[in-house]
Amino acid sequence: MLWKDYYSPTTLDEVLDLLEQHAGQARIMAGGTDLVIELERGLRQAPTVIDVTRIPDLDAVTLDDDGLIHLGPLVTHNHLVDSNIIIERAFPLAQAAWSVGGPQIRNRGTVAGNVITASPANDTITPLMALDASVTLASKQSRRTVAFEDFFLGVRQPALADGEMLIDIAFPAMRETERGCFIKLGLRRAQAISVLNVAVVLDFNGDTVTRARVAMGSVAPTVIRAPQAERVLVGSVLDDDAIDETARLASRAARPIDDLRGTAEYRREMVRRLTRRALRQLRDATERAGWPQKRAMLWGPNGPQPSRLAASAVHQNNGQQPIETVVNGKRVTIRNANGKTLLDALREDAGLTGTKEGCAEGECGACTVWLDGVAVDACLVPAPRAHGAEVVTIEGLAASENPTVDDVHPVQRAFILEGGVQCGYCTPGLIMAGAALLRENTSPTMGEIKQSITGNLCRCTGYYKVLSAIERAAADLS
């Protein structure tokens, strides 16, 4: 049992009341991509979970009349990647969001959750630091705004008091004369946390830098700025000497440690190289060169649809409140699953064992289902989150309940015909990801097909046949 009481409030006021009533016992849950794992591993205790994802209108990215961009507490990484405001006026943040996990993680994980977890390796913190962001925190008694530079007290230590909720992240939109970029070094290109990352935002007058902000992640207990490097940049033209000197000073500001992902020495050297690469990109105006024109979101043709409860709900483990949900088009009542993940509830209580558990921590995508039309990892979704929602599992993809090869879903048929299955363990998740892609993009390029399965691992097929199968299904559907 991961928690005792699970609340789904539908207003902010209710959240603040609940935080006060359950002082010291309650934890806010947004996407759950950090919190569910912490609870599973026993790293955190939270007898009371307050799931804030049913509160309407908290997922907006807006630009106000003062030129400030605001992110609501339910803005996910995929919301950022899809936002023209972010792509045009806060490009390093769009790049950072695109580098997070895979599509299923980006569909659930929020920027607020990333910030509150406060790991120095968390990717959105670095560009937000370079963009001079601040957070607004609300409790029953007060409301306060804290600059990013004052918000991170140490490794995973945000300056968030018990009873507070982050309700806004704000920062100035980049002006026309400003340019910026974010570069991440991971052990692979998806589903990998940063070995280190760098964000640079510069303002120019002609070729001369008039303002510089250089931020670095995973090189100190918190994300840090490199003030000496910034000072050297101001007044310079970005020639090779200025770039090399700035990169050297950024590397000197780093205070990394040795860990599993790299030694301190390696990190210091890579700070130098990444900073140099970022500055060269900004000098040559090539920072947007690799930005994909179409991005695999796996959230359906119309983007994420609001999933709201008409009224707030509470699911207590010692209570009788069943989870009333719709699975594969049928109304389903699930009892005694209030303290479980959706994956366990589907497999153990709804009898739907097609959805597999590979890792139980968001890494493998074997548990991919669609929650209100959006592809998610069911192992990181609390079962009561399905109350009043719609879930589609692998069993619901085919046109009939006992399909033949002729009436399975086109992606399922293509997997059979292309030999995209060996042991079959990863197959349901890959098919749910591929089918999600084809709902939003009927003629994907091979690059987009690859993007769509970056949240899924297969240990057998080597992926080529899987990619061919999704390509074939797209051709069959067009």
Ligand X SMILES: Cc1cc2nc3c(=O)[nH]c(=O)nc-3n(C[C@H](O)[C@H](O)[C@H](O)COP(=O)(O)OP(=O)(O)OC[C@H]3O[C@@H](n4cnc5c(N)ncnc54)[C@H](O)[C@@H]3O)c2cc1C
If one asks whether residue 424 binds ligand FES (CB under 6 A), the answer comes out as yes
If one asks whether residue 463 binds ligand FES (CB under 6 A), the answer comes out as no
Options 3-11, 142-150, 274-282, 425-433: segment touching ligand FES (CB under 6 A): 425-433
Of the candidates 52, 243, 394, 458, which one interacts with ligand FES according to CB under 6 A?
Answer: 458
Of the candidates 10, 20, 269, 425, which one interacts with ligand FES according to CB under 6 A?
Answer: 425
If one asks whether residue 461 binds ligand FES (CB under 6 A), the answer comes out as yes
| Minimum CB distance to ligand X smaller for 122 or for 412 | 122
Q: At closest approach, how far in Å is the CB of 68 from ligand FES?
A: 36
| CA separation for the pair 85, 80 (Å, rounded) | 9
User: Using CB distances below 5 to 8 A depending on partner kind, what does residue 358 bind out of ligand X, ligand FES, none?
Assistant: ligand FES
Q: At closest approach, how far in Å is the CB of 129 from ligand X?
A: 13
Q: How many CA atoms lie within 13 A of 259 on its CB side?
A: 15
| Minimum CB distance to ligand X smaller for 102 or for 444 | 102
Could you list the residues that contact ligand X (CB under 6 A)? 27-35, 73, 99-101, 105, 108-110, 112-114, 116-117, 122-123, 160, 165-166, 191, 193, 361-363
| Minimum CB distance to ligand X smaller for 279 or for 367 | 367
| Minimum CB distance to ligand X smaller for 110 or for 338 | 110
Of the candidates 51, 123, 168, 363, which one interacts with ligand FES according to CB under 6 A?
Answer: 363
Q: At closest approach, how far in Å is the CB of 368 from ligand X?
A: 12
**Structure token digits, residue 190:** 């998806």
Cβ-contact 90, 131 below 8 angstroms: yes
| Minimum CB distance to ligand FES smaller for 180 or for 358 | 358
Q: At closest approach, how far in Å is the CB of 180 from ligand X?
A: 18
| Minimum CB distance to ligand X smaller for 230 or for 363 | 363
Q: At closest approach, how far in Å is the CB of 194 from ligand X?
A: 7
User: Using CB distances below 5 to 8 A depending on partner kind, what does residue 424 bind out of ligand X, ligand FES, none?
Assistant: ligand FES
Q: In degrees rounded to 5, what are phi and psi of residue 279? A: -65, -40
Report CA torsion sign: 76, 77, 82, 88. Answer: positive
Q: At closest approach, how far in Å is the CB of 460 from ligand FES?
A: 3
Of the candidates 232, 298, 366, 381, which one interacts with ligand FES according to CB under 6 A?
Answer: 366
Of the candidates 245, 357, 390, 471, which one interacts with ligand FES according to CB under 6 A?
Answer: 357
Please identify which residue in the block is written with the tokens 């309407």.
Answer: 56
Give the sheet arrangement for strand 194-205, strand by strand: 178-186, 194-205, 208-217, 224-225
Q: At closest approach, how far in Å is the CB of 238 from ligand X?
A: 28
If one asks whether residue 382 binds ligand FES (CB under 6 A), the answer comes out as no
If one asks whether residue 359 binds ligand FES (CB under 6 A), the answer comes out as yes
If one asks whether residue 377 binds ligand FES (CB under 6 A), the answer comes out as yes
Residues in the chain: 478
If one asks whether residue 256 binds ligand FES (CB under 6 A), the answer comes out as no
> Which residue's C-beta sits nearest to ligand X?
113
If one asks whether residue 364 binds ligand FES (CB under 6 A), the answer comes out as yes
CB neighbour class for 214 (10 Å; exposed up to 12, middle 13-18, buried from 19): buried
| Minimum CB distance to ligand FES smaller for 220 or for 426 | 426
Q: At closest approach, how far in Å is the CB of 397 from ligand X?
A: 24
Q: At closest approach, how far in Å is the CB of 407 from ligand FES?
A: 23
Please identify which residue in the block is written with the tokens 């080529």.
Answer: 464
Would you tell me which residues interact with ligand FES (CB under 6 A)?
357-360, 362-367, 377, 379, 421-427, 458-461
